[in-house]
Structure 1
Amino acid sequence: MSQEELSTIRHSMAHVLAAAVQELQPGTLFAIGPSIAEGFYYDMRTPEHLTMEHLSDIEMKMREIIARDEDFRREEVSREEALALFAHNPYKVEIIESLPLDATITLYRLGTFVDLCRGPHVANTRMLRADAFKLLHLAGAYWRGDETRDQLQRVYATAFYNVQDLEAHLLLLQEREKRDHRRIGKDLDLFSFHEEAGAGLVYWHPMGGRIRHTIEDFWKKEHLKNGYELIYTPHIGRSWLWETSGHLGFYQDSMYSPMEIDQQDYYVKPMNCPFHIMIYRNDKKSYRQLPCRWAELGTVYRYERAGALHGMMRVRGFTQDDAHIFCTPEQLESEIYEALRFSLNILSTFGFRKISAFLSTKPEGKSVGEEHRWIEATSALEGALQRASLEYGTDIGGGAFYGPKIDLKIEDSMGREWQLSTIQLDFNMPERFNLHFIDRDGQAKRPYMVHRALLGSLERFMGVVTEHYAGAFPLWLAPIQVRIVPVSMKFTEYAETVKRYLLEDLRVDIDDGDDRMQAKIRKANELRIPYTLVVGGRDQENNTASVKVRGGEDKRDISLEDLRAFLIEKNASKALNLN
C-alpha cells in the first residue's frame, strides 16, 4: 500500500472519529482533522471535557459506524450554502471566510455527520478495518496555533491497512516511550528542567555536562581541522543591530523584551549571524582573505509558546553550533560542497548513517537579491549535492525569502526523521549591512554569505542522540566509560590502582559503596556504563581485571596493559560497538 493510500484511510478514519464523538457528545464543535505522518488527529471543543477514559467508548462507537457500511459522499456547495450550514461553528466559518472567493468548496457526509473537507476519502466504511486503528492520547491545541485563541482538545490516533501493521506500530510507540530523553535524562542524571525558575531552560548536570563537553571538544577540533576559525560574540546587542538585520521587523515575536542600558534598548540575541557580520565589517576585506569560515557555539534565546516546549527538543535558551562562510561567487560551490561533506562526516561519526537531503528553491512572491544571484546560488547547491553523490528531493519554492538552502535529515534508530544540518544562502544580511570585498579588478563587490548549522543546537541534538541510543551511548560519548567494582572492600586499594592507571585517558569511577557486588553490577547496567571491571584477589596478584561488556560477552583475566590499549583505541576511533 502506498503512503498516499494510507493517508486516505487515515483521513477517512478522522471523519469516523468525529462522527463517533458527535453521536456521543452532541453539540461538539469540530475544527480540523488531518492525516499526519504516522496517523491522524482531530481538534474539537466538546460539551464534556474528554479524558482518557472516554477513548474506549469512542473507539467502540467508531467500530459501530464502520460496521454500518456507509458511503463517504462528496458535495460541492456555494460559499453562502457552506456559511449557512456551519453557521453554528465559528471554526468552520473562519476557514470558509479565509478561502479565495473563487474557491471550490466541498463537503463530505458520513451518515448524519458532515464536514468541510477537500478529501479524498475511501468510498465506503467497509474499506476501513475496525481492528486496525487506535486512539492514542489527548492533548491541548490552540486554534490556529495561537495561544491567545480558543484552546481545543486534540485526539491523536493512528490507523493501518491491517492489524499486523498496527500492532508493529504500537510496539514501536512503546519503545519510543522507553527511550524518551526526558525519562532517560532523569534516570541517568543528565539534565533537568525547573518550571519555578523558568520554563524551557535546561540545567545540565555533571553527567550531562561530560557528554556536552565531549561533543563540544570534538566539534571544535573538527572545525579547526577543516579550516574554520572559532569566534565568540556577546549575548546582547543594541536595537540598531536587530533593526539593521531585520529581526525586529521579521522576528520580534520570538525575541524577548528589550532591556534599557544607557538610555538604549538592548535585546538578548535570538541569532548569532548579526554578530558575525559585525566582525566581517571590522575591516576591509580583499578577495585574498576569502573565504572566511567562522564557527561559534553561541547561546541564543527565543520565545516559544508554553504549549510548544518539549524537553530538550524545544526550549527557550539553547546553544547553536553555528557557522558562517563569507566567500566570492567563484568559491561558492566548493564551499557548499565542503560544508556538505563536513556535515555528513560529523553526523556519521555520531552513528547516523541514513541521511537524506532536500533542496529548497526561490519562493514565489516576496524575496530579496538579484535574480542572477538566486540562479548562481541554486546552481551551486545542486552542484555540491551532485558532487557529493547524494540523492535529494527538491522543494520548489520552499526556500527562505533571503536565499535557497539544503537541509539534511537523519533517521534515528526508531525510524523517525530529524532535521539537523542546514546550509543556507543569505542575500538579505549582506545587503542590509552593506558588506563588500575588493575583488581582483579593484572593484568592491558583494560577498556570498552562507549560514551553516551542523547539529542544529546542542540541546536538541542531545535529546535526539539520547533517544537514538536509549541512553546506551557509545564509549566515546558515555559520561562514565568504565566503572570498577571490587569484589569486596579489601580490594578497594587495588581498584584505586586500576582507576589511576586508566584515568588519564578515560572517564573512570569506582563503586566502593556498601552494596553487594551483584547489586553494584546491576546498578552499572542500569546506568548503561559501557565497561564494568570486576577486580578481586587473583586480579590483584596478576595485575588483571574481569570485564563485563554492556550487551556483550564477559571477559576474564584481561591484563591491565591490554585492557588499557583496547579501551584507548576504542575511544580514540569513536567506535560505535563495544566488542
Structure 2
Amino acid sequence: MVRNRRRRQSDCAEHEKSIQKQLCQRSYGLSYVNESGRTSWPLPQRIAFGHCQRLNREEGFLFFDPASPGSPYWGARTTHAYNVLVKLIKSEYLKHGFSEAVTPNMYSGSLWEPYGRWQHFSQEISRIAMMRADMLTVSCSGHCLFYGHRTPSFTELPIRYSDFGVIHRSNGVSNPLPLPYACHLLEDDSHIFCRPDQIAHEIKKCIEFISFLYEKVMKFTVEAELCTRSHDCCLGDAFLWDATEKVLKEEFQRRGRTLKMREGAAPYYGPKINLKLRDPNGLYHIYGSIQLDVEMPEGFDLGYIGDDRKRHRPVLIHRAIVPPAETILAIISTQCGECWPFWLSLHQVNVLPVCTVSIPYARRIAKEFTDANYEVEANFECAGTLNRRIKNSIGSKPNFTLVVGRTEIANGTVNVRTRNDLVLGEFTIKEVLRQFRSFEEDYSTDRQCIEAFMRCRGRERSWFP
C-alpha cells in the first residue's frame, strides 16, 4: 500500500489532559495499490471535484424544483450549448439521409403491450393516472407507426427517422455523473428500417458518425462492447440473432476497432453494441448504443414489398448514438473543467472597455458579436483598476476577452486576450469574426484557436511548451 498523507487527531480535548488516562490517536489517510495510482489521483479529482455543483450555482447550468420533480430547468447558456449540439447533429443527419420526425409525448398504454415492452419496462414508464396515459420513454413506437402507415417498396429502403424529443423515465438513467436524478430527458432517438442485406452498410454509417462526432469533434476515446444473445430470455429466430451478431462483429473488426464481448447481456429483442467513454475520474459510462431489433417489426406487423412482389419483414436498427443532452453536457463539463471548446462554449466572448470614453464603442462591439450568434458578456462599469477588471474577466473563463480603449477606437480594432491571459494583440472586427467562424467550422481546440490568431499576426509559436 502507498500512503498519500496522514493526519492525527486526539480523542480528548485540551482541558481533559489533566485526567490520568491514556489518549487514543486516530490516523486518517488515503491508500493506493501502487505509486502510479497515487500520482494519477490528484489531477482528475481537481478537475471533477465539485465542478457540476459550481456550474449549477454560478453558470445556471441546470437546476431542479419540487414543482416538477425530476425535470431539469435549463439556463440560457446551457440552452445555447444544447442548440449548438442539435444543429451539429441535424446537419450530419441530413448528410446521412435521415428525416426528422416529431412524435407525441403521451400514448395509450396499449401501444406498449403487443411487442413486450410493457412487461419488461413498465417500471420505467412515468404514469399519469388522471389521464390514464403513459409518457414517452423512447421514440421507437412512434417511428414504427410512422413507417407502418403504408407499405414501402424495397427500393425505398432504408428509411431513417431522427427525433429530438423529450422522453420520460423513472429509473435515474441520466445519472452516471454528478447530476440529480432526472426522469425528463432531452434525447436524440433515431431508427433505421432496412432490408437484411443492408445491415452491414448501415452499421458502417453508424460507425462513421461515431468517429466524426466523438473522436474528431469532441476528442473522446470511444470503446465498444457487443452484447450477445441470452439463451434464457430472447425473442425471435436464433438463426437471425446469430447472423446479426456476426454482422456487427465483422463490421467493427473490418474498421480496425477493438470490440469487447459481453456474453448473454443483450436485451431480449436483439443484439446490441454499447458505446462507452472514459471520464476524468477514470470511470467508463455507456452513453449510446447501436441495436438490431428483430422483434418490434413483428409486433407492429411492419413490412415492405420485395422484388419478388411479396411482403417481407424489415430489420429495425435502434441508433441512440447521442445520449440524453443532460448527460452529454455533464460529461463534457467534467472533461473540460471550465475550459469549454469555443464552438460549444457557454461563455465565448467578454467585452471590456478600458475607460468611460470607450463604453459606446464597447457596446457596438458587443452587439456585433451578439448578432453573429456568439455568447457575449460585457462589463460596462469602469470601476477599479484595469488590471483588476481584466483579472475578474479572465476568472469567469471566457474563451476570449476583447479589451477596447482609445487606441482601439482610433484603429477600429479590439485587443484580444485568451482565458489564460495571453495577449494576442490587436485585430479588426472582421478578422476576429472570420477567425471565430473558422473555429466553429473546424471544431478547434484552444491551442488551435491561439495558433490561428498567431498565424494571422505572423508570429512565431515559441511560447508553446
- In the TM superposition, what is the alpha-carbon distance from 1:416 to its structure 2 partner? 3.3
Matched, 1:257 2:127: yes
Matched, 1:364 2:236: no
- Corresponding letter in the other structure for 1:513: E
Contact 1:230 1:294 in 2 (8 A): yes
- Corresponding letter in the other structure for 1:160: Y
Q: 1:274 aligns with which of 138, 141, 151?
A: 141
SS of the residue aligned with 1:364?
coil
Contact 1:245 1:274 in 2 (8 A): no
Q: How many Å separate the matches in 1 of 2:187 and 2:124?
A: 16
Matched, 1:423 2:290: yes
- 1:287 aligns to what? 154
Q: 2:319 aligns with which of 447, 452, 460?
A: 452
Matched, 1:204 2:71: no
Matched, 1:513 2:381: yes
Q: How many Å separate the matches in 2 of 1:557 and 1:489?
A: 20
After superposition, where does 1:130-279 map in structure 2 within 5 Å? 134=30, 159-162=31-34, 165-166=37-38, 168-170=40-42, 172-178=44-50, 180-194=51-65, 196-261=66-131, 265-279=132-146
Matched, 1:409 2:279: no
Matched, 1:396 2:288: no
Contact 1:314 1:460 in 2 (8 A): no
Matched, 1:565 2:437: no
- Corresponding letter in the other structure for 1:203: Y
Contact 1:351 1:576 in 2 (8 A): no
Aligned-pair identity in percent equals: 22
TM-score scaled by structure 2? 0.85
Gaps of 5+ in 2: 3-24, 451-465
Matched, 1:339 2:192: no
Kindly provide the CA deviation profile for residues 144-176 of structure 1, in whole angstroms up to 9, marking residues without a partner as x: xxxxxxxxxxxxxxx533356335425533432
SS of the residue aligned with 2:167?
strand
- In the TM superposition, what is the alpha-carbon distance from 1:502 to its structure 2 partner? 3.2
Contact 2:174 2:326 in 1 (8 A): no
Q: How many Å separate the matches in 1 of 2:297 and 2:409?
A: 66
- In the TM superposition, what is the alpha-carbon distance from 1:563 to its structure 2 partner? 2.1
Kindly provide the CA deviation profile for residues 490-541 of structure 1, in whole angstroms up to 9, marking residues without a partner as x: 2111112323443343413322135434343233323221000000001100
Residues 254 and 477 of structure 1: CA distance in aligned 2, closer, same or farther (over 3 Å): same
Contact 2:61 2:77 in 1 (8 A): yes
Q: How many Å separate the matches in 1 of 2:234 and 2:181?
A: 28
SS of the residue aligned with 1:197?
coil
Residues 532 and 307 of structure 1: CA distance in aligned 2, closer, same or farther (over 3 Å): closer
SS of the residue aligned with 2:344?
coil
Kindly provide the CA deviation profile for residues 165-189 of structure 1, in whole angstroms up to 9, marking residues without a partner as x: 33542553343204x3232232222
- 2:423 aligns to what? 554
- Corresponding letter in the other structure for 1:398: A
SS of the residue aligned with 2:49?
helix
- 2:10 aligns to what? none
- 2:401 aligns to what? 532
Matched, 1:499 2:366: yes
Q: How many Å separate the matches in 2 of 1:370 and 1:164?
A: 49
> In the comparison of the two structures, how many residue pairs are matched?
424
Kindly provide the CA deviation profile for residues 92-151 of structure 1, in whole angstroms up to 9, marking residues without a partner as x: xxxxxxxxxxxxxxxxxxxxxxxxxxxxxxxxxxxxxxxxx73xxxxxxxxxxxxxxxxx
Q: How many Å separate the matches in 1 of 2:175 and 2:258?
A: 32
Contact 1:313 1:463 in 2 (8 A): no
Moved more, 554-563 or 360-369: 554-563
Contact 1:200 1:314 in 2 (8 A): yes
Matched, 1:380 2:241: no
- 1:542 aligns to what? 411
TM-score scaled by structure 1? 0.69
SS of the residue aligned with 1:555?
strand
Considering Cα pairs closer than 8 Å and 6+ residues apart, tell me whether 1 or 2 has the greater RCO. 2
Q: How many Å separate the matches in 1 of 2:248 and 2:172?
A: 34
Gaps of 5+ in 1: 1-8, 11-55, 61-132, 135-158
- Corresponding letter in the other structure for 1:526: G
Contact 1:256 1:267 in 2 (8 A): yes
- In the TM superposition, what is the alpha-carbon distance from 1:454 to its structure 2 partner? 1.4
Q: How many Å separate the matches in 2 of 1:370 and 1:573?
A: 46
SS of the residue aligned with 1:455?
coil
- Corresponding letter in the other structure for 1:276: H
Structure 1 or 2, whichever has the larger Rg, is 1
Q: How many Å separate the matches in 1 of 2:395 and 2:171?
A: 34
- Corresponding letter in the other structure for 1:509: E
- In the TM superposition, what is the alpha-carbon distance from 1:370 to its structure 2 partner? 0.6
Contact 1:341 1:388 in 2 (8 A): no
- Corresponding letter in the other structure for 2:357: K
Q: How many Å separate the matches in 2 of 1:554 and 1:413?
A: 30
Aligned-residue RMSD, C-alpha = 2.5
Q: How many Å separate the matches in 2 of 1:192 and 1:271?
A: 24
